[in-house]
Amino acid sequence: MTDLSEHSLATLAAELSAGGLRPSHSGPLLRSYYRMDAGSGSNDRRFPAELERLLRESIERRLASLAARHVASDGTAKFLIRMSDGRTVESVLMPGHRTDRAAGCLSSQVGCAMGCDFCATAKAGFERNLTSGEIVDQFLTLRREARAGGRRLQTVVFMGMGEPMLNLGNVRLAIERMASNDMGGLGCGRITVSTVGIVPGIEELAASGLNVNLAVSLHAPDDRTRARLLPTGRRFGVVEILGAADRYQAATGRPVSIQYCLLKGVNDSVEQADDLARLLKGRRMHVNLLRYNPIGPGLSGEVYEAVSGAAADCFLSRLRDNGVVAHLRQSRGPDIDAACGQLRQRA
Ligand code: SF4
């Protein structure tokens, strides 16, 4: 039988039924699986022997197992996670402001086809989509690691390897399980999906009714600079992407966040800050400015550099002076290759 992390209530009920077992075992079995994985003791329910075995095997035999763990001086932990076919992805656990909380970063694909020029994952190319169960197993791994460190996994973001909108079917299934009270227990409001601006994916996510948070990686206020950094910039323009983000916000009531990675001499000028502020005028979106973790030459061969602290502060002030809600996110775990794709590159 298929591993329990691959199942929703409906698919498990169908599989049980096809195997001559009672489909009504589906809910209690999944509840037991997630509760036992969360360390809530032993199973207090009795199932037929075949299902007891499935429960035990699903807990012992992971779809995703920990291949490497690197912990930075700031407490950020980066994991290399190996899937059952030997392929690896990266996940990150970041300590929260509260000492008992943590935030997790999940991958949605093995590698990535998007080819963003400043990203280490892009250099390795795309291998395959993760299944919904593999995504759920990453989440469960992060939850166990957080618990082992005395923290609760409070939020997750799809900002690891891959473009979630290009594997949206499996990402949606995984979100449903991570969010469900009977399974992961996280709730949709604690889950963020990040995209480089795949407009049809934004529309589909809005229509799904999942009501998760959306983050858009803009990285430039104009199509020309954007096309240099992100190949999607040639397919979807800034105005079109922000229009889709507006509709997402209207459909879900959730403010969209704009991710903007500052690159020295590329997208960090005062004029670009003003252009970004003009674009966001009248929109209830907030900007997260990111410090770049250098990766050496990008796909095009260009070597990007991080901006200085003073330049980042200047860009931030300019946005704020123009009425934009913006924050500068500290770069996490630079001493452990925390930029997406770096750890896997070196493994
Ligand atoms: S930044 Fe994200 S979307 Fe772009 S290549 Fe890297 S993993 Fe893919």
Q: Is 176 a catalytic residue?
A: no
Domains and their CATH numbers in the chain: 4-60 (no CATH), 64-346 (3.20.20.70)
Give the pLDDT confidence score for residue 99 in this predicted structure: 86
Q: What value does the mean pLDDT take over residues 266-292?
A: 96
Residue 343's pLDDT is 62
Please tell me the residue having the least CA distance from ligand 1 atom 6.
Answer: 119
Structure confidence at residue 77 (pLDDT): 93
Q: Given the CA of residue 163, which atom of ligand 1 is nearest to it?
A: 3
pLDDT for res 94: 93
- The string of pLDDT tens digits covering residues 44-100 is 678 888 888 888 888 877 778 889 999 988 889 999 999 989 999 999 999 888 889
On the question of pLDDT at 337 being above 60, the answer is no
Q: Is 261 annotated in the active site? A: no
Catalytic residue among 119, 188, 261, 340: 340
Pocket of ligand 1 (CB under 6 A): 112, 114-116, 119, 121-122, 161-163, 196, 340
Output the pLDDT for position 43.
60
pLDDT in tens, 158-204: 999 999 999 999 999 999 999 999 899 999 999 999 999 999 999 99
Say if CB 63 and CB 131 are below 8 A apart: yes
The confidence band for 109, taking pLDDT boundaries of 50, 70 and 90, is: very high
Span from the CA of 110 to the centroid of ligand 1 (angstroms): 11
